[in-house]
Amino acid sequence: MAHQFECTQQDCDFMVRANDENEVVDMVQEHAREKHGMAMDRSDVENAIQRT
Ligand SMILES: [Zn+2]
């Protein structure tokens, strides 16, 4: 199963897709912090991940 996350912030086209959910969560948390100055909880990221 693939895990995908698309950033929904305005003017941001960040997207990450991987088979490993932990990898996606880590990359999204890092992206949110570095690009948007946002701290995302793991559960927030997990809720936003699309599983395909
Ligand atoms: Zn973003």
Calculate how far, in angstroms, residue 19's C-alpha sits from the geometric centre of ligand 1. Answer: 20
CB 14 within 8 Å of CB 29: no
| Dist. CA 13 → ligand 1 center (Å) | 7
Give the model's pLDDT for residue 28: 98
Q: Tell me, what's the pLDDT at 38? A: 95
The whole-number mean pLDDT for each consecutive block of 10 residues of the chain, a chain of 52 residues, reads 95 97 98 97 97 93
Q: How far is the CA of 1 from the centre of ligand 1 (A)?
A: 23
> What's residue 24's pLDDT?
98
Query: How far does the centroid of ligand 1 lie from the alpha carbon of residue 23, in Å?
Result: 16
Question: Domain extents for the chain?
Answer: 3-51
Close Cβ partners of 25 (under 8 Å, ≥ 6 residues apart) = 42, 45, 46, 49
In angstroms, what is the span from residue 41 Cα to ligand 1's centroid?
15
**What is the model's pLDDT at position 9?**
94
The pLDDT of residue 42 is: 97
pLDDT of 31 reads 98
18/41 Cα distance (integer angstroms): 19
